[in-house]
Structure 1
Amino acid sequence: MKQELYQVLLVDDMPDAVKVLRDRLKAFDFLNVLRIQSDPFEARSFITENKIDILFLDMDMPGMDGFTLIQSLPEPPVVIICSGHNSYAYESYDMQAVGYVDKMVGHEKLVRTLKLAVAEVDKRAALRVRKSTTISLRCMETKVMKIIDKAHIYIAEINGKELTVYLKGADNQIEKLQSNITLTELYNQLSLQDFIRIGRSYVIHRKAIEGYTHSKIVIKDLKMKIPVSALDYQELLSFINQAE
């Protein structure tokens, strides 16, 4: 599967000053570098209407400075302050920018800053996935993608390459769904507040836990007792306590 490129935008009222930086960014094959935006008001509209992952932003622009531009966006991209004035390096902390670079930044610092930016983009994307209330699972029996309410996922277990998801709906009836995704793929899409992973084989919703000991978890409504290692037990205690 082809990896999606990170969308990069440079905003500077003097576009010639960042053309060298733009050309250097194009050498990174995981980036799609868009046309430089020179007007901050047009840039704001462009960012609002398009998917932008990483924003290289000049601070000192006429009509709207960089700080005001970021403050006006409901969901700003990951920001890297790009300026010829070293004083703006300190403002990067106030803006929660991942870094500050000079417009003639050296290669090593540019690479380090891009690594931070990409990591933050991935972190935000993962958080959005976890916050979603639904998940799409391909049912192995029907070969159909089913949209599942995450609140209905009761417990999931992996056996070889087959994932079994136990679903409990409003009628309290439990049904099984077999899917071909991995347990890790499933867990990475679930809320850490509601689900815990136990070992390599199980993911459990907190509402499914009837009781536990140092060595097992008892699952409500199912004749299941899940083995718990010493490490899992400490994580289980933290998981149980965070809901109290």
Structure 2
Amino acid sequence: MKIKCLLVDDEPLAIKLIENHISKIDSLQVVATCNNAIKAFEILSTQEIDLLFLDIKMPNITGIDFLKTIKNPPKTIFTTAYRDYAIESYDLEVVDYLLKPITFERFFKSIDKFLRANSLIVPEKKEVLKDEFILVKSGNKHHKIKIDQILFIESLKDYIKIHTVNDKRIVSKYKIGEIEEELAHKNFLRVHRSYVINTNKISAFTINDIEVNSVEIPIGASYKDKVITFLKNIV
């Protein structure tokens, strides 16, 4: 039996991303999507929903306040670009708190957690498609970036700069350690405290630096052993 999902988010691209992730897991089914809490309440009142994906910062009422108003709410996974609500959200006993941009790897961990908590069968993870993408907020825009188009990511203190194959550079308020975790197991490697690279884009290297798309990226002293071990395996 399919797990019926409702997606609530005022950003169309965010909904599309979750729909894309759900399409890779056979046991999940999107029953409905909407962009505000009022419509979500109507859907919950008329349809059986097993799992709710709920954005937090939305017009008129936040996802947290909305969830507090529902009697017997479905299991809920918060999806948000804001870290500040994490502690408050866990008081509501939600399944998980997903921070945008949401990669499939991180999404799958949430579904795994939901299924195990409800004694359901955990699905096999399908191969990640080449068109998998992340959503990154820069200013007032949300950018859809295909993972295989990322060359490397550069740290700018509390911000990151994402360099892509089309020479596009996107700056977002995001810590490099967090994006490193999000892109784990996707052929990305931390080579320096300020750089995470797409290992599929390496064009040359020495013991001191790695070249990605003609850009020489230094290998940090504390990362050298791990990086050299990796490089030996690809020679």
TM-score calculated relative to the size of structure 1: 0.46
Higher strand share: 2
Q: Give the TM-score normalised by structure 2.
A: 0.47
